[in-house]
Every structure is written in structure tokens, then in C-alpha cells.
Copies of this chain bind each other. A is one copy, B any other.
């Protein structure tokens, strides 16, 4: 028979899934001899069963609860609801993972008009008894009966006023008795039935309320955001009360064993005398620094410090502890691993190793990979942030904080930058044409597009703050303003972007530059010891390349050659090339681009030294390089000396219904072989020059995008090899190189055995693979993906985290088939997922050789890779 209830002495910290975090830790603390009041835990399974039964408590569970309650009575020598010596309990929820939105604590449960008299008599403290009673009624009414708290506050404050009392503790017992009476009337009025007097009813109703709170919207949203399954359920902890409100020798408080913001090894917390739990956080009384307790109650303080040490020693991590002092006796009510900032996380991990408390491996597991990026970007001045007015929210597409004046066009942004302004580029969505403006700005805000929209990808690549898909704003680029809510922001107005949260604020907020501590380097050096996956970067410019090396990149996994095409002075040559009617004209334009690309590659190779560099040949459809706006088309026509009508018709001809599935990638090479020829020539000439000039041997990895069929790769490969041979012949030299392909088309995944016949490496292009596997256009999916998440159809945005059952399955098929054909096939990933922790773990499990991500995600990927290796050591 299923056991639904566990006494604290039956559990331990390994039983989190069953007892919840709170229950498991209470049992654990009990077992190591800490002063924890007795109690028991109703399991998370009972919660699921309750929900499955249509939210009804069943007899079996009820009798088990009462059996444990009886044990508690025996142990305490008190009786639940007794008129003489009543047992009071607290009821608290506790799931395996702590979660906001769940039902709050109920204290002092078991009080009614009879037992309050018993409590008063037994303690000899009437004031305390009625203070506890009024607290209980209010709390119970609030969290169980859903009667608004402020209605009780009105009564409480009125009584205080009427009696000229300014502090709660100065109310008389009579005042409290009056308050209790009025509270009960309020409940009767609001609830249309009296306050439940029977303690057992109070208890069962409270248990139901905890269970029901598992399904409340806030908790549900939290679970969705944090990827917590709904069937985890919550436990309920029922514990004998201890009282911080028995006068000035009693009190309550919370403390962290170290500073959660800086990591400093120093007790950090607050307490209040003659108070119960919620008073510390309620703000009606100002709590005191925990350090002051040393003077007030030296013996209790010393005991508390010892408990803190013992808990840190036991849990091997910084703890967040709740305690109560009842007549100078210390009780510990909760401990949990404390939340912390990224900086603190790193410092604590390093310190704990230095203190000999944990190993380097354990230290590596203590920092969240996604957190670490915070350390690399500017942050807002916290005080100014507090004052700021939030005007809208979008997707946190690229981390960091940026403040500046808004501009709506690439030119506008560039000119403002030249005037020395800090610029925020605001657009409905960005396109490759906006690249100069994106370079010039501090941050980017778009109204459309998701986490992998053009703006998001480019911004992350640049390590620049970006908020994408802020769908509530309306941007009018032409007239130079955007509207958020009722407010209109015009060219030059200040706004501030928090790229970590996706929040947009009005006005200017000071930003602070990040400083990387010595602890950070130490920590990352451990990280690198343990990981198996190599970490490369996606970088298209020498600047990005250098940045990535600073962040620990071991090579370039994706150098997108098209970004080079957008630079000033080049785009018009590119357009000339595209608009050529004859192959000869196209080749003439390509000849002009050749030296430019060659010198780009040379600089990147130089920066990378002996590290591997994967270069992707041209990928986007050609129409992406042509202007869309009427004005720009006119300008270009003039520049090119052709008629506007003709240019228009060419642009229209190149237009596509679904450009994502159109004439792009290696399909371009099949129809315009001369483009890839030029690119390959540029790569190899750069290789040859570096060999001759600097004796630097570069082994370029030439990557063909969008391959879906072996013969396609064969066609392009022979083209590449012929060009390479031409260059080597001309320069009378030799050079090594690899030719491989992206796996981004589902067909490539399922025919990977064939494709591996020609490809020396695979690089998973998980952005496109996700688009095609799901049939989601990342430019358009924003419109329904949110709703999909809200309706729990998708747990996570698959563009952020690799969808293991679908996209992951295709990857697995490709790896298996590819290795069957070519045992030493080199495997990597260069989609945006390469810098996301869960996806990196998946790549580790797939035994890829490397992940590649934007420079600022490189440390994230390094840490995620190390954690994956430690978690799954067999996959080395």
C-alpha cells in the first residue's frame, strides 16, 4: 500500500521528489541533530493523486494524516484544539523545486475560541495567545479562503489608530481580542459562513488549499518558464509551532551563510524580536542586521553561527536559512541552497574549493551556465533601475544592458554615432541592409521576430544587447517614432534596454562595465579541465574573432561569408554582381570582391593562428542583398545607371514566396558556380599568402550550406576542388583543407550515410533544422509560439533549446548514419543552440566533437560542456 505521509524522522534529503525540498531538508536537519520542531510531510504523490481524483481528499489519506498528528501530540504532550494545552501547527507547501506563486505558510493553525484560552493559560501570556490568533485568522482567510488581506489590514490599522498605538507590539490584549472578533465577523460576511472552528477541518481545508495552489496560474507560468514538469506535485509540511512572538526574548529571522550578491564569506541576513515569520518581509517593522543579534543574544547567536557552519559543511554550499527564537531557544525552520548572482556563484564555488569543502568538479556544477553570460555584459545601476518606468517587454534576445537615443534607420544610427551619441536602433524588424546601423548602436529593439530572428542572431554575434519581438510596440520607421502603450518616442528620445530580461525602460539609465575577477579565470580553468566537447565560436570579423579568443574559443565553427558582403563599399559591388545579366559581367564584379574577401579571411586566419576555422560559403538568397524601399531602389538604379522599372522587375523576379525554402545555400552554387569559385579562391589565396609570408599553416574547413542530397554536395565539391587546385597550381604550393557540409535540411539527416561519402565533417545547422523539422518559420513563429507555450503545447521555444525528441532525433539519425560511412567524421553544431546549456549537454550526449556559438556565449558553452561531461562521464 502506498505511504502518503512521512514523519520528519523518516525522511532525508535524497527524498526531495517525494517530500519536496522543504520536507526533505527538514528531515535531513532533524537527522543531523539540529533543533527542528517535529512534524510530518504529506507527499507530492498524494498531491498528484488528489488532483487525479478531481481534487478530493480520500479517507486513506485523511486517516494517515490524523495518525501522524496524533504522534505529534504524543511527542509534544499537547493536544490539537485542546482547551488546556493546545498543539498548534504550521502548514507549508514544498515542492521539489522552490517556486513562487505557491500557497504561503499558515502559522498557528489549531487555534479557535477555546484553544486560544488554553494557549493563554499554558503560556501565561494572553497577549501572545491573541496575537497568534489574529495572525492565524488573517493568514488563513487570505491564503485558504481567498479573502483580500487588505480588508483585515483596514481593521487592524483602525484599531491601532483608535488606541493611539504606533507599533504592533504595543497593542493591548484587549485590542487584539477586539481585532479577533472583528476578523471573524469579516470572514462570516465575506465567506457567507463562519470561520472554521474545528481544528481538524482547519487542517484538511489547508491541505487542500496547498494542493490546489499547485495549479494556480502563477505557479503554472513559473513551471513553464523553468521547464518544470506539471506532474511533479507539491508536498505539504505540517510542523509543531514554535513562537517568535512570545516577547523580547523571542524573535524570527532569515539569513544567508554568505553574501548572495558578492559571495563574500560573511553571514548576511535580518531578524526581528517578538515577531512571527511574515513580519520580517512585510515591511511594517524594519528588521535588524543579523550581526546585531550577537549583542542582543550572544549565546543564541553563537549557536546560530554554529548551525550555519554545520549546514554549509553538510550541504557543501551557501545556505538560505529561516529560524525562530522562542524564549532564547533557537529553532531552525528551513534551510535551502541560496540563490545568488553570477558573480557570487563563481566566488562561492572558488572559495568552497579553497576551504577544502568541495572538489573542483563539485565547484563546476555549482554555477548555472546561462548565468555566466551576465558577467560579460554591462549592467544597469541598480538604484536607477528601481526608479525607471518600464514601457514594454519583448524577448531577451541578447544579454546586456544598453541606454541611448532611439533611431529608426541605419543612416540615422550611424550619423548619431558619429556625433558621439549612444544609439538604440529601433525597427519593426531588421534585415541585412541594417547591418551598419546595428554596428553603430549600443542596443537593438524590434517589434517582430523571435529569439533567432535576424536582429537576435546578429546582436548576439556582436555581444550587443537586443530585445526582439516586443509585439506591443508599433514602429513607424518612415516618420521616425514608435508607440509603446500611450506613449510616443521620437527620434533622439532616450530609452534603456535590459537584454537579460527583455524589459524596455523610458529614459536613460547608467550602465556599469563588467570586470572579470581572478576567481572567474580560476573557475573557467577548472571548467576546461573537465569538458570533452570543444567550444568554437561563430564569428565573421577579426574583431569578433579576437573577442571570442579572449572568451576561450578554440576555433571558428561558423564564419558567415555573407556578412562581409554588407560592408560599406562592398554592397554596391555585390549588387552589381547580382544584377549582371551575363556571366561575364558577374565574374567582373566577383573579381572586385575577391581581394576584399581574401583580406578578410587573412585577418581572421591570422587572429585564429593555428586554431581551426570553418568557413561557410554564401548562404542567403540573393534578394537579401537588394534594397526593398522605393527610395533605395531609386538610388541604386541611378548608381547602376539602369532604369528604375528594370531594377524593380529584377527585384520582383528574385522575390520568393518562401525565401527560407528558396534559392539559397548551395543551390546558388548550382545556378551561379562563379560565386563559390570566387569565395574558395579568396580562402585559398589567403591560406597560401599566410604560408608564404608568415609560415603559418592554416587548414581551412570549407563548409557547404543547405545540402540535402549527396549529388548536390558532389557537384559543389568538384567545383571547390577544381578551384583549390587552380590556386595551388598557380602558386606552386600545396595546402591541406577539409570540405564538409551543414546538416540543416531534414533530408540530409536521414540520408547522412550517403552525404558522409563526400563530407569530411558535418556541422548541424540547428536553426534551419528546427525550422524545417517543425515547419516553423522563425521570422513568423513568434505569432503563435507564445500561445503554444502558454497552452503547454511546447515546453520550451525550440529555437532556444534543442528539441530532443524531434530535431534531436534527426541529429541522432544523422550522427549514426554519418559515422557508419565515415568513422572519423568530424561533428559539430553551429546553430544558435551551440551556446545554450541543455543543448550543449545534448551535443555531449551525441558525442559531437565541438559546439560553436557567438563569442559572448563561449564561456556559457564551456561551462555547460563541463557540466555535461561531469554528469555523463560515460559519454567521453
Chain B residues, CB < 8 A from A791: 670, 715
Q: A671, B809: Cβ atoms under 8 Å?
A: no
Taking CB atoms and an 8 Å cut-off, the chain A residues in 98-151 that contact chain B are: none
The residue in chain B whose Cβ has the minimal distance to the Cβ of A744 is B775
Residue of B nearest to A768 (CB): B775
Q: Is the CB of B750 within 8 A of A806?
A: yes
Inter-chain contact B661/A777, CB cutoff 8 Å: yes
List the B side residues contacting A774 at CB < 8 Å. Answer: 708-709, 745, 747
Residues of B within 8 A of A787 (CB): 670-671
What is the CB-to-nearest-CB distance from A59 to chain B, in angstroms, rounded to a whole number? 31
A657 on the interface (CB 8 Å rule)?
A: yes
Cα A787 to Cα B673 in complex, Å, equals 12
Do residues B661 and A793 form an inter-chain contact, with CB atoms below 8 A?
A: no
Contact A779 B657 (CB under 8 A): yes
Chain B residues within an 8 Å CB radius of A772? 661, 746, 772-773, 775
As a 0/1 sequence over residues 764 to 779 of chain A, the CB contacts with chain B under 8 angstroms (1 = contact) are 0000100111111101
Cα distance, A751 to B662, chains bound together (Å)? 26
Considering the chains assembled together, what is the distance between the CA atoms of A150 and B323 in angstroms?
110
Are B810 and A750 in touch, CB under 8 angstroms?
A: yes
- If A773-B746, A775-B768 touch, whether A754 touches B661 (CB-CB below 8 Å) is no
Q: Give CA–CA (A658, B660) in the complex, Å.
A: 7
A772 CB → nearest B CB, Å: 5
- Please provide the chain A residues from 684 to 698 with a CB less than 8 Å away from any CB of chain B in the complex: none
A784 touching B658 in the complex, CB below 8 Å, given contacts A775-B745, A809-B750: no
- Write the chain B residue with the least CB distance to A806: B747
CA distance A775 to B711 in the complex (A): 16
* Nearest chain B CB to A667 CB, angstrom units: 5
B793 touches A709 (CB 8 A): yes
Cβ of A631 to closest chain B Cβ, rounded Å: 19
- A805 within 8 Å of B by Cβ? yes
Inter-chain contacts of A805 with B (CB < 8 A): 750-751, 754
Contact B806 A751 (CB under 8 A): yes
- Is the Cβ of B670 less than 8 Å from the Cβ of A780? no
Cα separation A773 to B792 with both chains bound (whole Å):
26
A488 interface residue per 8 A CB criterion: no
CA–CA, A784 and B768, complex, Å: 20
Q: Report how far A657 CA is from B428 CA in the complex, Å.
A: 13
A810: chain B residues at CB < 8 Å are: 746, 750
Tell me how far the C-beta of A381 lies from the nearest C-beta in chain B, rounded to whole angstroms: 37
User: Is A807's CB within 8 Å of the partner chain B?
Assistant: yes
A656 CB within 8 Å of chain B: yes
How far apart are the CA atoms of A660 and B781 in the complex, in Å?
11
Q: Within 8 Å CB of A660, what residues of B?
A: 657-658, 661, 775, 777
Cβ-based interface call for A650 (8 A): no
Q: Looking at the assembled complex, report how far the CB atom of A750 sits from the nearest CB atom of chain B, in whole angstroms.
A: 4
Contact, CB under 8 Å: A751 / B809: yes
Instruction: Indicate with 1 or 0, residue by residue over A647-664, a CB within 8 angstroms of chain B CB atoms.
Output: 000000000111111110
Cβ-based interface call for A706 (8 A)? yes
Closest to A707 in B: B775
Task: Tell me how many chains of this kind the complex includes.
Answer: 2
A794 in the interface (beta carbon within 8 A):
yes
List A432-486 residues whose CB lies under 8 Å from chain B: none
B667, B709, B793, B813: the one within 8 Å of A711 (CB): B793
Check: A712 CB closer than 8 A to any chain B CB: yes
Residues in B neighbouring A712, C-beta threshold 8 A: 788, 793
- Considering the complex, give the chain B residue whose CB is closest to the CB of A661: B777
Instruction: Give the complex CA separation of A712 and B806 in angstroms.
Output: 14
Q: What separation, in Å, do the CA atoms of A601 and B523 have in the docked complex? A: 68
Q: How far is the CA of A822 from the CA of B771 in the complex (A)?
A: 28
A768-B775, A777-B662, A807-B747 as given contacts; A784 in contact with B670, CB under 8 Å: yes
Q: 8 Å CB contacts to B: which residues of A780-813?
A: 780-781, 783-784, 787-788, 791-794, 803, 805-807, 809-810, 813
Let me know if B747 and A663 touch, CB within 8 A: no
Contacts of A671 in B (CB 8 A): 783-784, 787
Question: Please, which residues of chain B bring their CB within 8 A of the CB of A768?
Answer: 775
Instruction: List B contacts of A803 (CB < 8 A).
Output: 747
Q: Are B745's CB and A773's CB within 8 A? A: yes
Please state if A780 and B663 are interface contacts (CB–CB under 8 Å).
yes
Could you say which residues of chain B place their CB within 8 Å of the CB of A659?
A: 657-658, 777, 780
Query: Chain A: interface secondary structure?
Result: helix
The answer to whether A661 and B663 touch across the interface, beta carbons within 8 angstroms, is no
Q: Using known A-B contacts A775-B745, A805-B751, determine if residue A661 contacts B780 with beta carbons closer than 8 Å.
A: yes
Enumerate chain B residues within 8 angstroms of A794, measured Cβ to Cβ.
Answer: 709, 711
- Which of B709, B711, B715, B779 is the one whose CB lies under 8 Å from A658? B779
Chain B CB within 10 Å, residue with most, of A711, A712, A774: A774
B777 with A658: CB separation less than 8 A: yes
Cβ proximity bits A718-759 to B, threshold 8 Å, 1 near / 0 not = 000000000000000000000000001111001100100000
Known: A661-B780, A772-B772. A709 touches B806 (CB 8 A): yes
Give Cα distance in the complex from A202 to B621, angstroms: 54
A836 vs B591: C-alpha distance when bound (angstroms)? 47
- B780 near A662 with CB under 8 A, answer yes
CA distance A305 to B803 in the complex (A): 71
CB-CB under 8 A from A809, the residues of chain B are: 750-751
Q: Is the CB of B780 within 8 A of A658?
A: yes
Least CB distance, A719 to chain B, in whole angstroms: 11
| 8 A Cβ contacts from A211-265 to B | none
Report A34-52 residues with CB < 8 Å from chain B CB.
none
Chain B residues contacting A750 (CB-CB under 8 Å) are 773, 805-806, 809-810, 813
Q: A806 touching B662 by the CB < 8 A rule?
A: no
Nearest CB in chain B to that of A779: its residue = B657
Q: Which of A662, A779, A813 has the largest count of B CB atoms less than 10 A from its CB?
A: A662
Which residues in B have their C-beta under 8 angstroms from that of A670? Answer: 784, 787-788, 791, 793
How far, in Å, is A653 (CB) from chain B's closest CB?
A: 9
- In the complex, residue of chain B having the shortest beta-carbon distance to the beta carbon of A668: B784
* Whole-angstrom distance between the Cβ of A483 and the nearest chain B Cβ: 13
Q: Which residue of B lies closest to A754 (CB)?
A: B805
A658, A663, A768: most-surrounded residue (chain B CB, <10 A): A658
The smallest C-beta distance from A758 to any residue of chain B, in angstroms, reads 13
Query: How near does chain B come to A571, taking the closest CB pair, in angstroms?
Result: 21
CB distance from A769 to the nearest CB of B (A): 9
Closest 5 CB pairs of A and B: A661-B777, A658-B777, A747-B806, A657-B779, A662-B780
* Residues of chain A at the chain B interface (Cβ within 8 Å): 656-663, 667, 670-671, 706, 708-709, 711-712, 715, 744-747, 750-751, 754, 768, 771-777, 779-781, 783-784, 787-788, 791-794, 803, 805-807, 809-810, 813
Given contact pairs A670-B788, A711-B792, A746-B775, enumerate 11 new A-B contacts (beta carbons under 8 Å).
A658-B660, A658-B779, A660-B661, A663-B783, A667-B788, A706-B775, A709-B793, A711-B794, A746-B773, A747-B803, A772-B773
26 A-B residue pairs with Cβ-Cβ distance under 8 Å, sorted by A, are: A657-B779, A658-B660, A659-B777, A659-B780, A660-B775, A661-B661, A661-B771, A661-B776, A661-B780, A662-B777, A662-B783, A663-B783, A663-B784, A670-B784, A709-B794, A709-B806, A745-B775, A747-B806, A747-B807, A750-B773, A750-B805, A750-B806, A750-B810, A751-B806, A751-B809, A772-B773
